[in-house]
Amino acid sequence: MFITIFIFIAILTILILVHEFGHFITAKWAGARVEEFGIGFPPRVFGLKKGETLYSVNLLPIGGFVKIYGEDGDKKNDTRSFASKPLRVRSSIIAAGVLMNIVLSVVLLSFGHFIGLPQVIDGSDVSGDISNIVVRIAAIAQASPAHEAGIRVGDVIDAMQSEGMRLDTIQTIENVQEFTSGHIGKSVLLSMKRGGEVFEKTVVPRADPPTGEGAIGIAMIRTGQVSYPWYRAPLKGAESTFFLVRDTVKAFATIIMDYVSTGALTEELAGPIGIAVITGQVQQLGFIFLLQFIALISINLAIINILPFPALDGGRLLFLAIEKLKGSPVNQKYEKFAHTVGFALIILLMILVTFRDIGRFL
């Protein structure tokens, strides 16, 4: 548990710092004065001032922040102030955090494609080098033999044994299905892998399972570790990031529409506790799965931040768009009030999701 919490905090801190670094470096490029770049959140433990910027390490370990001179809309007559910059420059500074999270995903997935990422290889056009072909669990039905045995999504079926018969070579889904159908109602010992861990689970295939569940209640995929040459890996990383962004946007749109129409949060939405639990599960599968997971979370962070909702980067961009349309800045009193209300609503949503996560995962 301690390792999981440490990894979760480390991932979240890296993602937020990368996001804040986007604001930081763009503000520096634009000539705005960056007063502080902080790792963690206050109270401050110590700080080092270099030039005009204080680089601080703070007590609360999650995330970080950037404090830009004049970002609250004042000091408009000072050329080093954020508020004095042209609208397009301010927009670039705000949007840079989101862009950096997308760039991080491209970098991580490019490295992953170079060393080899797990990929479904049946029915797909794979142009890279394939190794480590396995049959992996893709889904588990509730209350099924697999679920009761503690099998998890991502586990690999390495061998099967029952009544003195043993299947040591499993390279296709049909291998598992044929062995299972031949031992209905009998104990089947599954030799499995989860990352670097090797373990065994016993299941009893059902004679009459619910429709679509199968005898032991699993869906399977055939995967291989697919790698590409160094000169192709960045292109594949960018391509994978594009598809992840597209699919994540669709998922968020579905969640929002479902919430508006039903008032209920879908199972796909997870808060800090849910993400921490999933982090632990992914970490057990191995480094390469964790790498993909970090890239996915980075994309999620980018998309959430770009939503046109007060207190988020997208909300700040929305007020800049209003300024562009009306020809003058929005009254700072109203904008600050909107961001305060937006922040309160986000915290409320986080609390609701957290309580739901406690019921789901703990």
Please determine, for residue 266, whether its predicted confidence score (pLDDT) is greater than 70.
no
Residues 264 and 350 reside in one and the same domain: yes
Checking if the pLDDT of 275 tops 70, the result is yes
pLDDT in tens, 15-71: 999 999 999 999 999 999 999 999 988 889 999 999 999 999 998 877 889 999 988
Total domains in the fold of the chain: 2
What pLDDT score was predicted for residue 268?
61
Q: In the predicted model, is pLDDT for residue 298 greater than 80?
A: yes
pLDDT in the model for residue 314: 95
- Gap between the Cα atoms of 77 and 36, Å rounded: 21
Q: What is the pLDDT of residue 26?
A: 97
Using one digit for the tens of pLDDT, what is the confidence trace for 177-232?
Answer: 999 999 999 999 999 999 888 999 999 999 888 888 889 999 999 998 999 999 99
- Give the residue among 53, 65, 54 at the shortest CA–CA distance from 21: 65
pLDDT band at 5 (very low <50, low <70, confident <90, very high): confident
pLDDT tens, position by position, 146-189? 999 999 999 999 999 998 888 888 888 999 999 999 999 999 99
Between 110 and 132, the more confident residue is: 110
Q: Is residue 170 part of a domain?
A: yes
Q: Are residues 241 and 349 in the same domain?
A: yes
Taking the whole predicted model, whether its pTM rises above 0.95 is answered as no
pLDDT at position 267 is 57
* Residues that are catalytic: 20
Please check whether residue 72 lies inside any domain of the structure: yes
- Domain holding 221, by residue range, is 120-227
Domain shared by 249 and 112, yes or no: yes
pLDDT value of position 7? 87
Convert the pLDDT of each residue in 235-264 to its tens digit: 999 999 999 999 999 988 887 787 777 766
- Judge whether 111 and 52 are in contact, CB under 8 Å: no
Q: Residues 7, 68: one domain?
A: yes
The whole-number pLDDT of residue 132 equals 86
Residue 13 in any domain: the answer is: yes
Residues 276 and 338 in one domain: yes
User: Looking at the structure, do residues 131 and 268 belong to the same domain, yes or no?
Assistant: no
Band of pLDDT at residue 269, cut at 50, 70 and 90: low
> What integer pLDDT is reported at residue 361 of this predicted model?
66
User: CA nearest 87: which of 325, 348, 335?
Assistant: 325
Q: What is the pLDDT of residue 149?
A: 93
Q: What is the mean pLDDT of residues 323-347?
A: 90
Q: Is residue 165 part of a domain?
A: yes
Is the predicted pLDDT of residue 290 greater than 60, yes or no? yes
Q: Is residue 357 part of a domain?
A: yes
Nearest Cα to Cα of residue 145 among 175, 178, 183, 196? 183
Task: Indicate the residue among 227, 261, 278 that finishes a domain.
Answer: 227
Same domain, 83 and 219: no
Q: How far apart are CA 216 and CA 203, in angstroms?
A: 7
pLDDT at site 265: 61
pLDDT band at residue 1 under the 50/70/90 scheme: low
- CB contact at 8 A, 90 and 71: no
Question: Do 242 and 329 belong together in one domain?
Answer: yes
Q: Is residue 232 part of a domain?
A: no
> Which tokens sit at 50?
């270099």
Task: Render pLDDT for 320-330 as a digit per residue (tens, 0 to 9).
Answer: 999 999 888 88
